[in-house]
Structure formats: structure tokens, C-alpha cells
């Protein structure tokens, strides 16, 4: 999974030529992953102001508005790809435009049903 973390203050503003160029980079990455046959899924997330976080403490569920991350970067979207190894996954992660001002975390998905 390629997790896309953005700093909203550094991302191009919606409706500007810079934002349009930024999105062209995403469209190009999408097309490359599709043509290479690695793209399984991917979506952007709504803004952090729409997030609700949940924690359970001492058996009691607590909910809070917001992501409550101690960082300026927030999870903004993701791709699920089928890459043969970490090097290949990193190649696709480097195509994501947010890598210019944010962070792309590459993490394997857990397989609880291994073939065998």
C-alpha cells in the first residue's frame, strides 16, 4: 500500500494552475500503474476536518473530531498496488506528485490467508 501524506499548507490550492499541474501528475501515475498492471485500488480522502478518530480505553469507546496526529502531514489518499518487491513499489511511490512536499509511506498489506 502506498499511503500519501500531505502537508495541506504546502499542497497547491484547488482551482489554481499549480493544482491542475499537480493533478496531471496524479493522472499520469494512475495511467502508468494501470498500464503496468499493478494498480488494484486508489482514492483520495476528504480533508482532515471531516475525520473522526476512535479509541478504546478501559473498555470505553471514545470518539474525537480530527485525525489527532502530531504532525503537519495528514493521510490524504492511498494506492493499493501489486508489486513484486520493495524496489518496484518504491518506483511507483516516486511517481506520486505529493512526494515533492509530503511523504509516501510504502507498507506491505498483511495476508491472513496465505496460500498453502
**pLDDT tens, position by position, for the chain (116 residues)?**
999 998 888 889 999 999 999 999 999 999 999 999 999 999 998 887 888 877 788 889 888 777 665 567 788 999 999 999 999 999 999 999 999 988 999 999 887 777 75
CATH of the domain at 52: 3.30.70.1060
In this structure, is residue 76 part of a structural domain? yes
Long-range contacts of 65-72 (CB under 8 A, 24+ apart): 71/5, 72/7, 72/9
**pLDDT for the residue numbered 70:** 58
**Quick one: cell of 49?**
476536518
Whether the pTM exceeds 0.85: the reply is no
Which residues fall within 8 angstroms of residue 54, CB to CB, at 6 or more apart? 61, 62, 63, 64
In this structure, is residue 69 part of a structural domain? yes
Contact 80, 109 (CB under 8 A): yes
Total domains, the chain = 1
**pLDDT for the residue numbered 6:** 87
Instruction: Report the length, in residues, of the chain.
Output: 116
Exposed, middle or buried: residue 104 (CB in 10 Å: 0-12, 13-18, 19+)? buried
Range of the domain at 46: 7-106
In this structure, is residue 91 part of a structural domain? yes
Amino acid at each position: 500500500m502506498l499511503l500519501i501524506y500531505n502537508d495541506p499548507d504546502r499542497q497547491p490550492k484547488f482551482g489554481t494552475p499549480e493544482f491542475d499541474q499537480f493533478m496531471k501528475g496524479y493522472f499520469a501515475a494512475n495511467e502508468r500503474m494501470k498500464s503496468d498492471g499493478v494498480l488494484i485500488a486508489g482514492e483520495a480522502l476528504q480533508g482532515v476536518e471531516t475525520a473522526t478518530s476512535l479509541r478504546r480505553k478501559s473498555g470505553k469507546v471514545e470518539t474525537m473530531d480530527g485525525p489527532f496526529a502530531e504532525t503537519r502531514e495528514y493521510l490524504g489518499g492511498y494506492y493499493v498496488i501489486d508489486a513484486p518487491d520493495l524496489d518496484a513499489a518504491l518506483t511507483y511511490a516516486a511517481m506520486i506528485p505529493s512526494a515533492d512536499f509530503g511523504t509516501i509511506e510504502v507498507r506491505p498489506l498483511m495476508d491472513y490467508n496465505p496460500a498453502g
